[in-house]
Amino acid sequence: MKVRYAHCAGLDVHKKSVSVCVRKGKGKKVETSTAVFGTFTSDLERMREFLRRCKVQRIVMESTGVYWIPVWNVLEHGEWKFDLVLVNPQHVRALPGRKTDKQDCERLAELGQYDMLRGSFIPPVETRELRDLTRRRAHLQGDRNRLINRINRLLETANLKLSSVVSDVVGKTGWLILNAIAKGNTEPEDLVKLAQGSLKGKREELAAALQGFIRPHFQWLLGEALQDLSHLDEQLNQTDARIRERMVAQADAIRRLCTIPGVQEITAWTLIAELGTDMTQFADAAHAASWAGLCPGNCESAGKRQSGRTRKGDRYLRRTLIQNAWGVAHKKGCFLTALFYRITARRGMKRAAMAVAHRILVIAYFILRDGGVYQERGGNYFDKLNPERTAKRLIERLEAIGYQGNFHKIVDPPMPPGDITAAEPKNKRGRPRRTTSSMFGTTKWSIEAITTTPSPPVASPEICRQCAGWGIPCIHARNAKYVANSNTDAPKSVT
């Protein structure tokens, strides 16, 4: 095996100590030297000087919680530029019974010398700072949601059913009512006067929902919760202002990302903070989706696929994109919406949300890499892929519900051979390519007439009381022969 780095070091990082192993030489002539340093900044600077004297080219360390970050900071900001590699501990597991700090750092140095380890993506300092801001915002939003849930629970303990009438208990109307209750106003007739907007027409329901057991203890707890909520809202506003200030240079990328359906400003912030703007760090869009944990897992043995569970990936980016996928499902005339329901029919809504999140990330990858914008394909994109199959499926659905019609194709006259304009798509060699519409004409469907078949008569109580009570034809197999006899015009025998 070829040695790629003549001088390589492996670091086994802990909370209070760092074990270092340096390998120098090639082939059978390899010299190793080990040392142990503390984790204070002064100790790490001495370790950096030790590695510089050893002329180390590459340094390999494991990702151990947050303890690798101080080591990375010291080695990154030194005058001597090291090739730093951070690896996943699962990729360098030791054999049972052969695991010590010294053996761990020696194994990392040896694997790094032969370039057998794949490093994790560590963005630049500016991108890492943006990550801190966007992740702090996600944590604040989570704290706010939990606090709102506690307020809802507190209202239920006092028999106040405000959430049954108001969709957002901390909205404009809910905020005014809750503050009035916390200040001592407990009369429903006075509280309903604070209703805003469409809730003015629900004052009777509000008055009924605000009748409960309000005690001074409840008012104190509610006041404290509202103060905490106000403080969280203020922190969120300050964090948003800070992010906007740091994202001024990325205004064009944010604008282009917002052309994707379902992607708003906050999602664009998360995409830029987690992925960065330099897409050369990923081999292609599939690698970016795998890094984010938005693709099926790969577990196969003996030719059998055992599990397709997704990997963990970047949980902040993954959560944001899946939330956007659920939001896209409510749009109309959108390609991503059509993709969501196309997969839902076969795999279910959860897998469809994961697939749409994967597609959003792929689109964002190409937008950040190529500098373009999102081009909408339309909600009927999949129907146009195979018009005959789509028409056959729709005709079968019409016939299944009792409609009959005369359907025929309207075919445009085919273009003469060789009459291919430059506007048509080109093949891989750059030559004009004939499409189905240019060779065989455009296929359209026309409905001359649609008629409905008469529905079968409602079951008679004498034949089937249950179906007669429902007002439908008899659906029970045991009564089928009686139904058939009742529908015939043959005279009944008289005994």
CATH of the domain at 158: 1.10.287
Q: Is residue 186 domain-resident? A: yes
Please tell me whether residues 91 and 164 are part of one structural domain: no
Q: Terminal CA-to-CA distance of the chain, rounded, Å?
A: 102
Q: Is residue 65 domain-resident? A: yes
Domain limits at 483?
Answer: 455-490
Rounded distance between C-alpha atoms, residue 421 and residue 434, angstroms: 10
Residues 304-330 have a mean pLDDT of: 89
Tally of CB atoms within 10 A around 378 = 12
Please tell me whether residues 215 and 315 are part of one structural domain: no
Domain count along the chain: 4
Model confidence at 452, pLDDT cuts 50, 70, 90, reads: low
Q: Is residue 406 domain-resident? A: no
CB 261 within 8 A of CB 328: yes
Please tell me whether residues 266 and 347 are part of one structural domain: yes
Task: Mark which of 58, 83, 113 sits at the end of a domain.
Answer: 113
Please tell me whether residues 210 and 278 are part of one structural domain: no
**pLDDT for 434:** 44
Rounded distance between C-alpha atoms, residue 144 and residue 237, angstroms: 13
pLDDT over threshold 50, residue 435: no
Model confidence at 423, pLDDT cuts 50, 70, 90, reads: very low
Q: Is residue 408 domain-resident? A: no
Q: Is residue 278 domain-resident? A: yes
Residue-averaged pLDDT of the chain: 85
Model confidence at 460, pLDDT cuts 50, 70, 90, reads: confident
Alpha helices per DSSP H over 158-187: 172-182
> Would you tell me the crossing angle of helices 349-370 and 315-328 to the nearest 10 degrees?
110
**pLDDT for 472:** 76
**pLDDT for 415:** 53
Please tell me whether residues 141 and 76 are part of one structural domain: no
DSSP-assigned letter for residue 124: -
Tally of CB atoms within 10 A around 376 = 13
Please tell me whether residues 98 and 192 are part of one structural domain: no
Report CA torsion sign: 419, 425, 428, 429: positive
Length of the chain: 495
Please tell me whether residues 98 and 170 are part of one structural domain: no
**pLDDT for 381:** 92
Q: What is the pTM of this model?
A: 0.77
pLDDT over threshold 60, residue 50: yes
pLDDT tens-digit series, residues 346-381: 999 999 999 999 999 999 999 999 999 999 999 999
Model confidence at 51, pLDDT cuts 50, 70, 90, reads: very high
Give the residue carrying structure tokens 């292609």. 284
**pLDDT for 175:** 95
Model confidence at 428, pLDDT cuts 50, 70, 90, reads: low
CA–CA distance from 2 to each of 90, 110, 359 (Å)?
A: 24, 12, 40
Task: Mark which of 320, 353, 370 sits at the end of a domain.
Answer: 370
**Which comes out higher in pLDDT, residue 98 or 203?**
203
**Which comes out higher in pLDDT, residue 452 or 52?**
52
Helix (H/G/I), strand (E/B), else coil: 276? coil
Task: Mark which of 81, 113, 145 sits at the end of a domain.
Answer: 113
Give the residue carrying structure tokens 């003996």. 302
Model confidence at 493, pLDDT cuts 50, 70, 90, reads: very low
**pLDDT for 440:** 37
Structure tokens belonging to residue 280? 């050369």
DSSP-assigned letter for residue 121: P
Please tell me whether residues 103 and 142 are part of one structural domain: no
**pLDDT for 441:** 42
Q: Is residue 387 domain-resident? A: no
Question: Residue 87 is inside which H or E element, if any?
Answer: strand 83-87
pLDDT tens-digit series, residues 142-196: 999 999 999 999 999 999 999 999 999 999 999 999 999 999 998 989 999 999 9
Model confidence at 38, pLDDT cuts 50, 70, 90, reads: very high
CA–CA distance from 420 to each of 11, 95, 221, 413 (Å)?
A: 64, 65, 76, 14
Please tell me whether residues 259 and 229 are part of one structural domain: no
Alpha helices per DSSP H over 167-282: 172-182, 188-191, 203-209, 216-246, 251-257, 265-275
Judged by average pLDDT, the poorest of 96-100, 204-208, 369-373, 399-403 is 96-100
Please tell me whether residues 267 and 333 are part of one structural domain: yes
**pLDDT for 349:** 94
Q: Which of 130-134, 303-307, 402-406 has the highest mean pLDDT?
A: 130-134
Rounded distance between C-alpha atoms, residue 48 and residue 61, angstroms: 14
**pLDDT for 300:** 79
Residues 2-31 have a mean pLDDT of: 88
Q: Is residue 21 domain-resident? A: yes
Q: Give the rounded percent of residues in the chain with a pLDDT score beyond 70.
A: 86
Q: Give the domain CATH number at 41.
A: 3.30.420.10
Q: Is residue 437 domain-resident? A: no
Please tell me whether residues 268 and 352 are part of one structural domain: yes
Please tell me whether residues 174 and 270 are part of one structural domain: no
